[in-house]
Amino acid sequence: MVPAFNERATVGATVASLRSEFSHVVCVDDGSVDGTGDLARAAGATVLRHVVNEGQGAALQTGFEYVLRRTAYAYVVTFDADGQHHVADAVRMVRRARETGADVVLASRFRGSTENMPWSRGALLRAGVLFTRLTAGLDVTDTHNGLRVLSRTALTRIRLQLPGMAYASELLNAIRPNDLAYVEEPVTVSYTDYSRGKGQRNSNSLNILYDLLLGKIRATR
């Protein structure tokens, strides 16, 4: 599953690479205005479209609901559209889910490797790991990695309600309360000029924290 917003430059190649290993690729076009959905469809994806941009969390939730309602697949792979991830890693993660019975397989660039990652980005991600260990109670080494594998059971128990990038922490926070088994898998994340330009600004971490706190307040009402 590929959430995408204005990813004209990379979405076609991303979908095509996934189609070389996976028979069904879903692209959620999150309100793009650059033809992203058309290019994904031409590359072989089933395209779901948001009329307006709702954020990556909302895009993934749309895709999760599609998988549950329209397919019988046992697992779903989430995969960023910007070319940072490697399809071979996704294939190995699905195999790991099947072999271990894990409901969630999380990709870890810090157990694997990175290519051309900015120092500031690495420092921010490591701070995010400490935050997640404290709030979610998970022994993880990477957070906000868009590559993951979720079982059908996980899709039925996790509902993403934060539309923006805070969804990644929301998803991790849902693992233990829902009795979901998880493992991490080493992967490679390759940063390019394009992906660095499309990526989150470090200052956006404040917005993510705000969304998480707002979500906790809503949950207590």
Q: What is the pLDDT of residue 193?
A: 87
Give the strands of the sheet with 75-78, arranged side by side.
75-78, 148-151, 104-115, 182-190
Report which of 177, 147, 160, 158 is spatially closest to residue 86, judged by C-alpha positions: 147
CA distance between the termini of the chain: 32
Q: What is the pLDDT of residue 218?
A: 44
Strand-pair partners of 76 = 150
The tens place of each residue's pLDDT in the chain, 221 residues long, gives 999 999 999 999 999 999 999 999 999 999 999 999 999 999 999 999 999 999 999 999 999 999 999 999 999 999 999 999 999 999 999 999 999 999 999 999 999 999 988 888 788 888 888 888 888 889 999 988 999 999 999 999 999 998 777 899 899 999 999 999 999 999 999 998 888 777 554 444 444 444 444 444 444 44
Tokens for 149?
């594998």
Q: Which amino acid is at 86?
A: H
If you search the block for the tokens 């189609």, which residue do you land on?
A: 19
C-beta separation of 173 from 209 below 8 A: no
Domains present along the chain, CATH in parentheses: 2-219 (3.90.550.10)
pLDDT, tens digit, 9 for 90 and up, residues 20-29:
999 999 999 9
Report which of 68, 67, 62, 64 is spatially closest to residue 49, judged by C-alpha positions: 62
For 70, residues 6+ apart whose C-beta sits below 8 A from its C-beta are none
Q: Pairing state of beta strands 46-50 and 26-30?
A: parallel
